[in-house]
Chain A
Amino acid sequence: MAKRDMSVTRRDFIKTTAAAGALAAAGTLTGPFVARGAAKEIKVGMVQSYSGAFSYVGERADKAIRLAFDQSKYRDVVKFFAEDDQNKPEVAVEKAQKLVEKEGVDVLVGPTAGHTALAVSEYCKTKKKLMLLVYGGNVKIAGSNCSRYTFMCGHTTYSASAPGVPWVFDHLGKEIFLIGSDYSTGRDICGWFKEIYLKKGGTVVGEAYPPLGHSEYAPFLSQIMNAKPRPKVVGGFLGGTDCVNFTKQLAEFGLKKEGIPFVTTIGSYSEKLCEAIGDAAEGMYDIFHWAPTLPHKENVEFKEAYLKFAKMEADDPAMIGYEVGTTITYALDQTGGDPDNEKLIAAIEKRKWVGPRGQCSYGPNHVIVHPGYIRQVKKVGGKLTPVVVAELGPVTTPGDATGPGGECKL
């Protein structure tokens, strides 16, 4: 009996020694990390679209935010909470309430669509809770509804369109036909195009606002073909499948051959969309703040890291998600790992960095100031991709983008 007991003890000893060894080894890895004072748990809540039309934004941004933390010293102390905003403001606010009031998250990453982002931003204002937006590019959050607690890390309809219009006027033609999907984004962007063209002495030869999700553009293309004078360029905003159909049909009707390009905005010509359009996309333009082909080190490194981490090519939602993630980890570095929101806000306001987009900072209305680019779809290594053909310098969304009286007062 005694011998048996002894045998068990020996086995236990070996087990215990092995476990202790493993713990010791782990300790050597985590030791310096703990010593840097990052042991406190950081709770990051994400209320994004994980279903519906914007699900690809939520999913890709989610992975990129996790990547940013994975690359930081907070990788072992961060706890993520992810909730689907279902693209509905009331659901988004409810989910934000759950994360803030029940789970006690330190930082919130906000909803994807503009109207849901505005609703949660207003909620965060009352709770004094820091929120960073990946998309949610509602110009009101830059202006009349701006908030000390909300930072916009992505583009808005304004920053990804209006700053590029003067370049379009100077380089592509003074006579323009405007086309935009018939909802606020399409109409706002065409409005900015029109205002800038008229101010510079150009001519708007016609305007068309097809319904969102329209498949057939022949009637609108015949308007363009019959406009007098003949436009040199077609500009405005069509996104997603609308952009696919319009671009294909623009080429089919011979307008591309005639040298009349389409300039869309908000980076409509993503690599995925170009693939769906095919050769008809080649030579078309858009206005945006990033391109996968940007050659600087930070962009190349980000793309490689994202591919390795998420097992998919980086795209715009991933890039902005990464910027949101690095903004939070940077601010935590500045506060010594303290998630106190006032301290984090002070740190973020001062942040100046070179990211995948280029040189960035936050403006006085907490909207990102980032480079603007004119991109043209070209074949690079046999693959259609948007390539930067002109740099617009730093662009942002001023508080009064929607007109006088909409200024931001934090």
Chain B
Amino acid sequence: MSFEVFVTNLLYGLTIGSALILVASSLSLIFGVMGVVNFAHGSLAMLGAYLAYTLILLKFNFWWALILSPLVVGLLGLLIELFTLRPLYARNPLLQFFLTYGVAMIIANVVLYAWGGDALGIDKPGSLQGPVNILGVYYPKFRLFVFFFSAALALGLWLFITKTTWGVILRAGIHNRELVEAFGINMSRVFTLVFALGSALAAVAGVILGAMRNLNPVMDLDLVIGGLIAVVIGGLGSFRGAVLGALILGLSESFGAQLMPGFSKFTVYIVMVAILLWRPEGLVRGV
């Protein structure tokens, strides 16, 4: 493998990984705080991408679409939590999983009905088109934007969790919900906000991945599976784990496709199985 090929794969792996961080970290946050494995996460990301597509058709520019679409999806997440998940918290956690699976099916069909089955594309902003030269490798500007933007957002989320009062509540809630409530904090409201925030972050990932690749009605499955693998590798409920898992996933996908083209779809799973056998609880413990 030449130096250029190595750098290309490294950059590409980091880009995919960083976009996946947004899906995985919000998925992990929802699981960590609420104990819900949200199977509709990929669908919310997909919905975000399709909404951005429509906003751009309605003459909004890419940046407005990147802001407005996650807001709408965040609001939808809020409603989903309030009206469907909340009545199920006291029951078997499997019911929550099935519920989010049902929500995923509904969103998938709404997308298919509203936008059709053909692949669609989101126009990238003109300033982010074309390649730049990094260490002799031509790399698309938009991908660099995805990398830096996702990294900045993940850093912001990390600071929010570790440095703010809300973050303290979240971390405390992950460990002991009853104790937090004993301090007079309304955890139900926290749950709603976490689910809304997670949904909005998923939508951000959907918009940027949709612009980087394309929009299609089966992209939800790719996103949720990728997010779940990253979370499982990193450690359930751990933010740092989700970041690490997403980066490992991105790099194993890029180098796997290069080194073993025929098995590139499997390399990710091989890595996941190996890590789970080595550390069944995931790579990172704690937030």
List A residues at the B interface (Cβ < 8 Å): 55-56, 182, 208-211, 214-216, 218-223, 225-226, 240-241, 244-245, 248-249, 252-254, 257, 272-273, 275-278
Contact = CB atoms under 8 A, between A and B. Distances in A.
16 contacts: A182-B261, A208-B261, A210-B261, A216-B16, A216-B213, A218-B8, A218-B254, A219-B258, A219-B264, A225-B138, A240-B119, A248-B121, A253-B140, A272-B119, A276-B119, A276-B215
A264 to B, nearest CB: 14
B262 A275 contact: no
Given A240-B119, A244-B214, A216 B138 contact: no
Contacts, number: 99
A245 B118 contact: no
A222 B259 CA distance: 12
A241 B120 CA distance: 9
A252 B258 contact: no
Given A216-B254, A216-B257, A248-B213, A222 B8 contact: yes
Contact of B118 (A56, A210, A218): A56
Contact of A275 (B121, B222, B258, B261): B121
B117 interface: yes
Contacts of B213: 215-216, 241, 244-245, 248
A219 B254 contact: yes
A211 B265 contact: yes
B230 to A, nearest CB: 16
Contact of A222 (B9, B222, B264): B9
Nearest to B143: A252
Contact of B120 (A221, A226, A252, A276): A276
Interface of chain A, main secondary structure: helix
A171 B120 CA distance: 31
A244 B119 contact: yes
A219 B121 contact: no
A252 B140 contact: yes
B132 to A, nearest CB: 10
A216 B12 contact: yes
A209 B119 CA distance: 22
Interface string B251-279: 00111011001101100000000000000
A218 B9 contact: yes
Contacts of A240: 119
Nearest to B3: A226
Contacts of A249: 140
A219 B9 contact: yes
A151 to B, nearest CB: 28
A214 B268 CA distance: 13
